[in-house]
């Protein structure tokens, strides 16, 4: 039986004061969360703050990106081992904003996935199609290509130690959520694709949905058989919304 995972992606939001208020609210309210896990992926400078606030709490933490390199002359970059130093459990890889705004191609995303796992982090691999790709009926082709790039370097054994987040790009930050049926169809496709390599890995793989999830639509999305929780952007900045979404995953 898979346990649902709800992860917040704070993106480039927050301040020491705002984060303190949010984390102070999350810790007690999520202490009793049962049968589901939760995490927050915070901007790099606030990892230490997250570590201090969340140590021993029922909320894990992680980063939103990492370098594919272990160390070296890569000005401005942050390595997987640095994230481990700050107690991270998760690292997002291949978020659509990284792919679209920072030119991360499938090979780079796959290299980041491997770098994260090598250091002991659990990568949350984001995949998903743009609106043009959906309208061109190539959603499955796009998602398959994104998964294949990772399978080629990490193998199905690598995928077994990861989380996949299906995030249709047209639903991210737009207020347009995929319908539970639309999301379920792609989740089922992802699971079937992984099952071609290993039925066991496919059955155990946590596949989150992301794209304008909020308290009002979370329960319906999470009730679909292949949707194992969510990756939450905007709504993760509100303690009330995020807690309600986590509870919907129970
Ligand atoms: C995201 O950034 O991964 C995301 C899903 O954002 P939002 O929930 O705001 O659509």
Residues with catalytic roles = 95, 167
Residues comprising the binding site for substrate?
Answer: 9-11, 173, 212, 233-234
d(CA 58, CA 51): 12
- Cα 22 to middle of ligand 1, angstroms: 18
Establish whether residue 167 lines the binding site of ligand 1, counting it when its CB lies within 6 angstroms of any ligand atom.
Answer: yes
Beta bridge partners of 6: 38, 230
- What SS3 state is found at 78? coil
Nearest CA to ligand 1 atom 2: 233
Q: Where are the domains of the chain?
A: 4-248
- Cα 100 to middle of ligand 1, angstroms: 14
- Cα 211 to middle of ligand 1, angstroms: 5
- Which pLDDT does position 24 carry in this prediction? 98
Work out the angle at residue 66's Cα, subtended by the Cα atoms of residues 60 and 70, and round it to the nearest 5 degrees: 115
d(CA 60, CA 5): 10
- Which pLDDT does position 1 carry in this prediction? 77
Ligand 1 pocket: which of 100, 173, 242, 244 to mutate (most atoms <8 Å of CB)?
173
Low-confidence ranges of the chain (pLDDT < 50): none
Ligand 1 pocket: which of 8, 231, 235, 246 to mutate (most atoms <8 Å of CB)?
231
Do 84 and 115 contact (CB within 8 A), yes or no? Answer: no
Closest C-alpha to 192, from 182, 202, 184, 183 = 202
Residue listed under structure tokens 């509870």 = 247
Number of the ligand 1 atom closest to the C-alpha atom of 232: 8
Work out the angle at residue 223's Cα, subtended by the Cα atoms of residues 3 and 240, and round it to the nearest 5 degrees: 80
Do 99 and 109 contact (CB within 8 A), yes or no? Answer: yes
Indicate the burial class of 59 (C-beta count within 10 angstroms; 0-12, 13-18, 19 or more). buried
Establish whether residue 204 lines the binding site of ligand 1, counting it when its CB lies within 6 angstroms of any ligand atom.
Answer: no
d(CA 191, CA 35): 21
**ipTM at complex level:** 0.98
Query: Which top CATH class is 4-248?
Result: alpha beta
Q: Retrieve residue 75's tokens.
A: 């000005």
């Amino acid at each position: 039986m898979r346990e649902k995972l709800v992860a917040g992606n704070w993106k480039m939001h927050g301040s020491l004061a705002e984060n303190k208020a949010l984390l102070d609210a999350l810790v007690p309210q999520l202490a009793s969360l049962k049968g589901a896990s939760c995490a927050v992926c915070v901007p790099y400078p606030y990892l230490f703050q997250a570590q201090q606030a969340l140590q021993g709490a029922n909320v894990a933490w992680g980063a939103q990106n990492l370098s594919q390199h272990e160390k070296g002359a890569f000005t401005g970059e942050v390595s997987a081992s640095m994230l481990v130093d700050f107690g991270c459990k998760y690292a997002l890889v291949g978020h659509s904003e990284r792919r679209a705004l920072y030119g991360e191609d499938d090979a780079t995303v796959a290299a980041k996935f491997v770098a994260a796992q090598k250091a002991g982090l659990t990568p949350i691999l984001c995949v998903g199609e743009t609106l043009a790709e959906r309208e061109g009926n190539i959603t499955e082709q796009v998602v398959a290509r994104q998964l294949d790039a990772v399978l080629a370097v990490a193998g199905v054994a690598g995928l077994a130690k990861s989380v996949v987040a299906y995030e249709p790009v047209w639903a991210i930050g737009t207020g347009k959520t995929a319908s539970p049926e639309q999301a379920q169809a792609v989740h089922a496709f992802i699971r079937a694709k992984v099952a071609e390599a290993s039925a066991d890995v496919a059955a155990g793989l946590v596949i989150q949905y992301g794209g304008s999830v909020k308290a009002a639509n979370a329960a319906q999305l999470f009730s679909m058989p292949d949707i194992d929780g969510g990756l939450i952007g905007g709504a993760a900045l509100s303690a009330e919304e995020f807690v309600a979404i986590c509870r919907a995953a129970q």
